[in-house]
Structure 1
Amino acid sequence: MDKVLIGQALERVREVNPLVHNITNVVVTNFTANGLLSFGASPVMAYAEEEVAEMASIAGALVLNIGTLNSDVVESMIIAGKAANKNGVSVIFDPVGAGATAYRTETAQRIINEVNIAVIRGNAAEIANVAGEQGQIKGVDAGDMQGDFAELAAATAKKFKTVVVITGKEDIVSNGDATFVVSNGHPILTKVTGTGCLLTSVIGAFAAVEKDAVLASVAALISYGVAAEIAAQKTAELGPGSFQIEFLNQLSHVTIENLEQYGSFRKL
C-alpha cells in the first residue's frame, strides 16, 4: 500500500459519489449527512423496517451505528444488514458505547453474529467489549484504557473475520494478518460531537468504491485526519465551533496533493 493507491481511492469517491445508507444515531445525523456531502458522497438516512432492505440493497455501503438504541432500530439494522450482504454491499459497523450497558454490548455482538461486517470501527474500549474483553467505557467515550491496541485489533479481526479499525491518538487498521498505523488527525476532533461517527461513514464511502477494506479504511483515516489537521491550523485561536465548520470545508477541499504531503502511516 502506498500514497498513490490512497490518492486514487479518494479520487474514486469524488468521481463515483457513492450512496451511503446510514442507520445512525439521532445526535449525529445532520453532521454525518453534511460531512458525507462535503466529502463527495451521497448520504441517505433510512430507518423504517418497511424500506431499509430496499435502500440497503441499492447503496454503495451500509453504515450501522448504535449510538442511540431502541429495539425497532436494532431490527431495522439486522434487516438492512442481511439485505446488504445478499446484494454484495459493504457493511460498516460502529459499536458506539459497547461496554457501557449490557444492552449495548449484547446488541453489538448480535449484529456482528447475524450480519457479515466488512469493517468494525470503534475506540479501544468499544472494540475490547465487542470482542469479549474487559475495556473501560464512560458513557459512549473511552476511558483510560491501556494495552497493545494493535494486538487487540488483529485478534478481533481474526475472531470475527473482518477488518477492525481502532481510533485514538493513533489509529490502527488490521485484518488479522496485515496491520497499519495511521498518525493523522488532531485532538480537537474530540471536542466536536459526532466526529467518530462521521469517520465511520467516511470509511463507508471509501468501502463503496474500494473492495479492499484495509485500503479503504487507511485511505479514509488519512483523508479525514489530514482534513482535520488543516482545519485545526486554520482555526487555531477560535475553538471547536469554528473548527467544526472549517472541518466540513476541508473535507470538501482535501486533495491528493494534501495526502501526499501530510499523510502519515506505517505497516507494523
Structure 2
Amino acid sequence: MIEPKTIDAILEKVRKEKPLVHNITNVVVTNFTANGLLAIGASPVMAYAKEEVADMAKIAGALVLNIGTLNEENVEAMLLAGKSANKHGVPVIFDPVGAGATKYRTETAQKIVKELEITAVRGNAAEVANVVGESWSIKGVDSGDGEGDIIELAVKAAKQLNTIAVITGKQDIVSDGETTYICKNGNSLLTKVTGAGCLLTSVIGAFCAVEKDYVRASAAALAVYGSAAELAAEGIEGPGSFQIEFLNNLYTISADNIQKLSALEEVSHVNL
C-alpha cells in the first residue's frame, strides 16, 4: 500500500525541488499543461526544435512525449530527445494520444516504444491496447467502451513494454507488471476539459522526476490529481469554472486533503 503521508511526501518533494519537465506535447494543450505543472510546483519547458531537444532533455528532471498533434518533424524531435534522456538517466513518459485511430498514429506510437526506453506510458484503455497490439475500439482520440479487463491489460502492457503502464478512465490503473494499484479518485468534469489527460501525463513526469520508485510515483500522481479534481468540482456546475478551480486546487492541495480523499488500492495478482 501507499499511505497518504507517502503521497504527500512525494508532492512536497515536487514543490521543493521544482523539477524541470521537458514537454514535447500537442498544440491543443500546451498552455494548460504549462499552467498545471506550475500549479503543482514543477517547472515546465516546451522545446520542440530538433536542434535543441537533446540538450534540453539531458538537463530535465523528466521528458514527456505526447503525439496528440502528430507530424514527422515532431516525431524526429521526440526520438532525439528520448535517446538523449535515456543516455542521461532522465525518465521518459509517453502519451500515445489516439493510438488506434489511424495507421500512422498507431505505427508512430509503436515506433516510439520500440526505439526508446519508456519509463511510463499513460493513456486510455484503447490507446494502451493499440500500442501493444490488442484490439480495442476508439473514436478520434477518445476510448470506446471496448471489451476486456483493464487491470489485465495494464499488467500485460507493463510486462510487454518493460515500463509502468498507466491506464486512465472511470478508475485509473497503474502497474509495473508485478505491483498494481487502482485509483478511484477523480471527477467526470475532467473529461470535459481539453488536455486533462495530457496534463496528467506531465504531472506523472514531475513525480517521476523526484521519486525513482516509478510505480509509486505514478500512483501518487494519480491520487493527487484525482483528489484535486474532486475538490475543484465542489459547487461547480460546468467545465469553465472547473478548469480554473482545478488549477487552484493543484496549487493548494494539502496533506489533510490527501489524507481524507486519497483512494488507492493495491490489486492482488493471484488471478491475473
TM-score over 0.5 for the pair = yes
- Measured after TM superposition, the shift of residue 230 of structure 1 is 0.4
SS at match of 2:215: helix
Q: Figure out how many residues of one structure are paired with residues of the other and give that number.
A: 266
Unaligned runs of 5+ in 1: none
1:173 is matched by which residue type in structure 2? V
CA RMSD of aligned residues (A): 0.7
- Measured after TM superposition, the shift of residue 257 of structure 1 is 1.5
2:68 is matched by which residue type in structure 1? G
Map 1:29-178 to 2 at 5 A: 29-178=30-179
Partners of 2:46 and 2:18 in 1: CA distance: 16
- Measured after TM superposition, the shift of residue 234 of structure 1 is 3.7
The answer to whether residue 248 in structure 2 is matched with residue 263 in structure 1 is no
Please name the residue that 1:9 is paired with: 10
Please name the residue that 2:224 is paired with: 223
Please name the residue that 1:181 is paired with: 182
- Measured after TM superposition, the shift of residue 7 of structure 1 is 1.2
Unaligned runs of 5+ in 2: 268-272
Please name the residue that 1:233 is paired with: 234
SS at match of 1:8: helix
SS at match of 1:44: strand
Return 248-257 or 198-207, whichever deviates more: 248-257
Deviation string, structure 1 residues 189-247 (Cα, Å, up to 9, x no partner):
00010000000000000000001111111110000000000000142x3x100100111
Please, what TM-score do these two structures have when normalized by structure 1?
0.98
SS at match of 2:135: coil
The answer to whether residue 249 in structure 2 is matched with residue 250 in structure 1 is yes
1:35 is matched by which residue type in structure 2? G
Contact kept, 8 Å, 1:10 with 1:256, in 2: the verdict is no
Partners of 1:88 and 1:55 in 2: CA distance: 13
- Measured after TM superposition, the shift of residue 147 of structure 1 is 1.6
Deviation string, structure 1 residues 70-111 (Cα, Å, up to 9, x no partner):
000000000000000001000000000000000010000000
Please, what TM-score do these two structures have when normalized by structure 2?
0.97
Partners of 1:106 and 1:46 in 2: CA distance: 24
Please name the residue that 2:270 is paired with: none
Contact kept, 8 Å, 1:95 with 1:108, in 2: the verdict is yes
Partners of 1:177 and 1:195 in 2: CA distance: 28
- Measured after TM superposition, the shift of residue 255 of structure 1 is 1.0
SS at match of 2:170: coil
1:85 is matched by which residue type in structure 2? N
SS at match of 1:121: strand
SS at match of 2:234: helix
- Measured after TM superposition, the shift of residue 146 of structure 1 is 2.5
Distance change >3 Å, CA 234–CA 42, structure 1 → 2: farther
